Amino acid sequence: IYLCQIAFNSKTSTEKIVLSQEITSISISKPNQEPLILTKNEDTWFVNNQKANEDALAEITYALENITLLNKVSSGKDLATYELENAPVVTVFNQDTQLLKITLGKSSATTKQTYIQKDGSPAVYLASQPLQEIMNVSLENLLAKEDTPTEQ
């Protein structure tokens, strides 16, 4: 029974990814596209040096600050199964210090979770957030909307 408990617990334990410092920049690199560079200057976010949509950035930063790895699903030998080959990469920084680097695979069957790889590990994990959906943004979606004057 003890061996069964150890085997079961090792497969069902969760791990919260804790960032050691505040996020000040994020790079979202997608295959065959220019990376999106998100930077924070004081309390304002910019994307590729243009003012960013604060709501979109709040969703992205919240997701990155609240990743929980639900379980390890693969040792990394079958990356194509999880669509982790030639996949988007998200890198998170505080100034020049890299805090996190993850590769985003496909969404799970429920679409509420995403298969990911952490930098430096061949293992594939199921993450608690729909990261693929949240990080699959365009420059246009990230830019702050211009206030348009209303006619009176």
Please write the tens of the pLDDT for every residue from 76-112.
888 999 999 999 999 999 999 999 999 999 999 887 8
Alpha carbon distance 92, 98 (integer Å): 6
Question: Of all residues in the chain, what percent carry a pLDDT higher than 90?
Answer: 64
Residue given tokens 């709040």 in the structure block:
58
Residue 144's pLDDT band (cuts 50, 70, 90): confident
Given a cut of 80, whether residue 4 has pLDDT beyond it is no
Amino acid symbol at 74: S
What pLDDT, in 10s, does the model give residues 7-64? 444 555 788 988 989 999 999 999 999 999 999 999 999 998 899 999 999 999 999 9
Lookup: tokens for 11: 């497969």
Count Cα atoms within 13 angstroms, Cβ side, for 114: 24
What pLDDT, in 10s, does the model give residues 8-23? 445 557 889 889 899 9
Q: In what side-by-side order are the strands of the sheet with 50-51?
A: 15-16, 68-74, 124-127, 114-118, 97-107, 89-94, 25-29, 36-41, 44-47, 50-51
Alpha carbon distance 134, 130 (integer Å): 6
pLDDT at residue 145, rounded to an integer? 80
pLDDT at residue 1, rounded to an integer? 43
Quote the pTM value: 0.84
Residue 2's pLDDT band (cuts 50, 70, 90): very low
Which residue(s) pair with 125 in the sheet? 72, 116
